[in-house]
């Protein structure tokens, strides 16, 4: 199943009507939901995209897809604390656990944090309760989370 097909049952389970897309980038999550005909309001936030850089108001749900592995390692805690301030109830995180194909201008891999799924599980657990975990084909980990 595609990622959107794995996320939709979670959105349905929590009767999500609005979600923050944290690190929305090219807005692919909203576009995928629209393709599937899901009438969910997606509030897109991405500090790296000027048009999406306004911090959103807290929401019951938050998705963060293929974002956390791109964060500067020394800022990861700040990002999780910011996410904590935005999630009222539940969320879904998808995190790549392998190097990216893209190399940054400074020569580093675009995935600044490449760690095993268990490292991510342990790290996320400092900030959120983990309700469910899926390891996807040795390339990513998906976590269903709730506010502590």
pLDDT in tens, 76-107: 999 999 999 999 999 999 999 999 999 999 99
Q: What angle do CA 116, 85, 118 make, to 5 degrees?
A: 10
Strand order in the sheet with 18-22: 41-45, 18-22, 59-65, 87-96, 140-147, 128-136
pLDDT in tens, 56-70: 999 999 999 999 999
Burial call 56-87: b when 16+ CB within 10 Å, e when fewer? eeebbbbbbbbbbbbbeeeeeeebbeebeebb
What does pLDDT average to over the chain? 96
pLDDT above 80 for 1: no
pLDDT in tens, 12-26: 999 999 999 999 999
Which has the closest alpha carbon to 27: 9, 10, 40, 44? 44
What does the pLDDT average to over 24-30? 96
Measured in degrees and rounded to the nearest 5, phi and psi for residue 62 equal: -140, 135
What does the pLDDT average to over 32-50? 95
């Amino acid at each position: 199943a595609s990622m959107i097909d794995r996320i939709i049952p979670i959105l349905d389970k929590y009767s999500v009507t609005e979600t923050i897309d944290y690190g929305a980038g090219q807005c692919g999550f909203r576009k995928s939901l629209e393709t599937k005909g899901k009438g969910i309001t997606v509030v897109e936030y991405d500090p790296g995209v000027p048009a999406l850089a306004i911090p959103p108001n807290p929401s019951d749900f938050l998705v963060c897809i293929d974002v956390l592995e791109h964060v500067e390692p020394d800022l990861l805690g700040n990002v999780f604390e910011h996410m904590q301030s935005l999630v009222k109830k539940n969320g879904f995180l998808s995190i790549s656990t392998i190097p990216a194909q893209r190399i940054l201008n400074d020569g580093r891999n675009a995935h600044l944090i490449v760690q095993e799924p268990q490292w991510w599980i342990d790290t996320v657990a400092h900030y959120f309760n983990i309700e469910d975990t899926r390891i996807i084909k040795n390339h990513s980990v998906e976590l269903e989370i709730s506010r502590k």
